[in-house]
Amino acid sequence: MSTPISTNSPPSSRTSDDALGFRGADAVLLAWQDGMRPDPRLTVSQWADQHRMLSSRASAEPGRYRTARTPYMRDIMDALSPTNPVQRVVFMKAAQVGATEAGCCFIGFVIHHAPGPMLCVQPTVEMAKRASRQRIDPLIEESPAIRERVKPARSRDAGNTMLSKDFPGGTLVLTGANSAVGLRSMPARYLFLDEVDAYPASADDEGDPVGLAEARSLTFAHRRKVFLASTPTIRGMSRIEREYEASDQRRFFVPCPHCGTMQWLKFERLRWDKGRPETVRYHCEACEQEIAEHHKGAMLAAGVWRATATGTDPGTIGFHISALYSPPGWQSWRDIVRLWEAAQGNDDALRVFKNTVLGETWTESGEAPDWQRLYDRRETWANGSVPEGGLFLTAGADVQKDRVEIDVWAWGRNLESWLVDHIVIDGGPEKAETWTSLEQVLAKTWTHASSAALKIARLAIDSGYESSAVYTWGRRMGVGQVSPIKGVEGFNRSSPVSGPTFVDATEGGKKVRRGARLWTVAVSTFKSETYRYLRLERPTDEELAEGIRFPAGTVHLPSWADSEWCKQFVAEQLVTVKNRRGFTKLEWQKLRERNEALDCRVYARAAVWIVGADRWSEAKWRDLEKQVAMNDRLPASDPEAGQIRRTVRRPRRIIKFSGMH
């Protein structure tokens, strides 16, 4: 009998070696036995700890994935395991707390351990492509257990493309919430819906993207897994908040290192000396003792998730976490306090703080300011003149059936603004004289306090009524000074102004394809901004005498603005309404019929965005200040801020005013 290859080989293998003369039979048998052994029953977090590797391309901490680094993610990931009966997992969270990495672990687990059709939805197709390059490809390349199951991207077949990854037993498809075709592409047992609050209201006008995506999983009944994760946005508009509030609303409770009381961390419990973020401490809600940052690691390790409500759907559970839980080495309490102090006095910055740091929705203040208060605090400066702080002019034009109303606004640093003129051109858009008069408005100049004369840098004109006539006139005036716009509703847009897009225009009775440039304006955003600015507290006369400046965004109204104009300026209110499917949304509704003053303000503000003032550098503002202050020469023409020239004599009035309407 020949000598066995190993003393640990089973007797049967030694016999086989003798009979067949094949000395590798024992190794074959061991491999066969190993293949017959079922895979270990792992949860998603266990799988991640064993198999997930983080790439330096996709992580600030490359190497083996450790769930212990973010202990609060363990229960969230494990709820996505097939052994857990939960079907839908909702995660409302701050930015950069590990949610996307947890989603990648979910994807890796499915590819390796529980194969099936999977759909990963990003806000747009472009973001899906970016996620594929920056997240999914490193996930596959750096984790051997996954790499051996997904064909190389350079293989001849289409098993591994940017938006589709095939693996034994399933496929991963990435798509954007703006693509109805992508959302209807296949049935899916697994869904990863990332940043759902950034999804458009409708996917190609076919309905809510979340609803369309979830419809693909219904055929899998109780075996489906849906993971919805997002940073929230505006209260009443936030998808993730709506889903979380319908769940059991779990919070991560951690023990006080002094008294052991379990509590979930609240921003209000942070205490620090004003202007000194380094002094920040967390105060226990039970014993009121100070908890230092270095305690956080042990607190997180001992933390547990607890439901704080009763969900409407037993198959859905919800989790919420803020950046206060960021593990050591990530965002510290000191960093959070510094961001909070920097955001004071700026509603936009406060909104970002609430959304991305606290993981909470921002409440828009939609109550219309009292018109009488605006009327009472009007200021006095010469009619048709530009006060000292104004550096350039924009105008908003509202086209009506029988007239065109124009408001001219002066703008200074930090979006401080002054109403300079209100013009009404009698006559509808079908009359050539109407457009001639509007051209004269563009040629008009307004005298600055420094005696310089300013022209309108940009006029934004609404194309909602008689679009063809507006496009034709805008094309004739050129793109340098006139911008036709189209207002759209909704807050969840990536930019308040987008475009331009090319639309057909008519010239000499002949249609010119793509002849005009049209800008799209999210009017809700600018209305909310205007109302926030109108509520700003103003310095007293004594404070102004001491050199205190008006807050950023202050709106100054002249003494000639009558009560009717003031009423029009605050003629709408932001309310929460329900649609036919029961979803709530924020919507601007009129309190009175006439609202042209508010509309013209929104259009003039859009013109500011179009010329780029929201993004101007300090050097640009200083240059404008120098131009306005010039007294002895003609400055160069500035296409962004309008031509400014020295003049002493008030220009002759061209447009005949019809009075305040």
Burial zone of 263 (CB within 10 Å; 0-12 exposed, 13-18 middle, 19+ buried): middle
The model's pTM:
0.62
- Is the preceding peptide bond at 255 cis, omega within 30 degrees of 0? no
644 pLDDT more than 80: no
* pLDDT recorded at residue 121: 95
Residue 574 has pLDDT above 60, yes or no: yes
Tens of pLDDT, residue by residue over 360-403, are: 988 766 667 788 889 989 998 877 789 989 999 999 999 998 89
- Provide the pLDDT for residue 190: 96
Residue 547: band (very low, low, confident or very high) from pLDDT cuts 50, 70, 90: confident
| Angstrom distance (rounded) from CA 162 to CA 35 | 32
Condensed to tens digits (0 to 9), the pLDDT of residues 412-461 reads 999 999 999 999 999 988 899 999 999 999 999 999 988 889 999 999 99
Residue 609's φ and ψ, nearest 5 degrees, are -65, -40
Q: Closest by alpha carbon to 52, among 164, 194, 147, 174?
A: 147
Exposure of 13 by Cβ count < 10 A (0-12 exposed, 13-18 middle, 19+ buried)? buried
Query: What average pLDDT score do residues 42-63 get?
Result: 87
- Give me the pLDDT at residue 586, please: 78
Contact (Cβ atoms closer than 8 angstroms) between residue 151 and residue 159: yes
pLDDT digits (tens, 9 = 90+) for 334-363: 999 999 999 987 777 888 999 999 999 887
- Strands 456-462 and 482-488, bridge-based pairing: parallel
The confidence score (pLDDT) of residue 80 equals: 96
pLDDT for position 205:
72
Question: Quick one: 486 exposed, middle or buried, by C-beta within 10 A (0-12, 13-18, 19+)?
Answer: middle
Residue 211: phi and psi, rounded to 5, are -65, -40
Residues 30-48 have a mean pLDDT of 75
Question: Can you state the percent helix, strand and coil of the chain, rounding each to 5?
Answer: 35, 25, 40
pLDDT given for residue 174 in this prediction = 94
- The C-alpha atoms of residue 26 and residue 257 are separated, in whole angstroms, by 56
Checking if the pLDDT of 639 tops 60, the result is: no
Q: Which long-range contacts (CB under 8 A, 24 or more apart) does 4-8 make?
A: none
pLDDT at position 539 over 90: no
Q: Are 110 and 44 in contact (CB under 8 A)?
A: no
Strands 118-122 and 190-194: parallel
The mean per-residue pLDDT over the stretch 271-291 comes to: 94
Helix or strand or coil: residue 475?
A: helix
State the Cα–Cα distance between residues 304 and 302, nearest whole angstrom. 7
> How much is the pLDDT for 3?
41
Query: Which amino acid is it at 186?
Result: M
pLDDT class for 584, splitting at 50, 70, 90? low
Confidence (pLDDT) at 498: 85
Neighbours of 480 (CB within 10 A): 11
pLDDT (0 to 100) of residue 355: 94
CB 174 within 8 A of CB 180: no
Residue 638 pLDDT > 50:
no
Q: Which two tokens stand for residue 59?
A: 């992580």
CA distance 81 to 88: 11
Across 147-151, 222-226, 384-388, 640-644, least confident range: 640-644
- The pLDDT confidence band at residue 643, using thresholds 50, 70 and 90, is very low
Q: Looking at residue 655, what is its pLDDT?
A: 29
**Average pLDDT along the chain:** 84
41-151+159-249+309-321: which CATH architecture?
A: 3-Layer(aba) Sandwich (3.40)
Residue 636 has pLDDT above 50, yes or no: no
**CATH 3.40.50.300 residue ranges in the chain?**
41-151+159-249+309-321
φ and ψ at residue 52, rounded to 5 degrees: -85, 130
Q: What is the pLDDT of residue 234?
A: 81
pLDDT of 299 > 60? The answer is yes
For the ranges 32-36, 143-147, 317-321, 342-346, the lowest mean pLDDT is seen at 32-36
Q: State the amino acid at position 234 in one-letter form.
A: I
Number of helices followed by number of strands (H, E) in the chain: 22, 30
In this prediction, residues 10-37 reach a mean pLDDT of: 59
Confidence check: pLDDT of 660 > 50: no
Examine the pLDDT at 615 and tell me if it is beyond 60.
yes
pLDDT band at 659 (very low <50, low <70, confident <90, very high): very low
- Cβ neighbors of 115 (< 8 A, separation 6 or more) are 167, 168, 169, 170
| Cβ count within 10 A of residue 104 | 24
Give the residue-averaged pLDDT of 28-45.
Answer: 72
Res 52: pLDDT: 92
Average pLDDT of the segment spanning 63-76:
94
For a pLDDT cut of 90, what percent of the chain falls above it?
51
Q: What is the pLDDT of residues 114-168, one digit of tens each?
A: 999 999 999 999 999 999 999 999 999 988 989 989 987 665 556 678 899 999 9
Residues with Cβ within 8 Å of 40's Cβ and at least 6 positions away in sequence, in order, are: none
* 359, 92 contact by CB (below 8 A): yes
The model's pLDDT over 482-527, given as tens digits with 9 standing for 90+, comes to: 999 998 877 656 678 988 888 877 766 667 776 688 989 989 889 9
Tell me which of 12 and 359 has the higher pLDDT: 359
**Residue 404 corresponds to which amino acid?**
V
Instruction: Name which of 73, 140, 133 is nearest 100 in CA terms.
Output: 73
Burial of 85 (0-12, 13-18, 19+ CB in 10 A): exposed
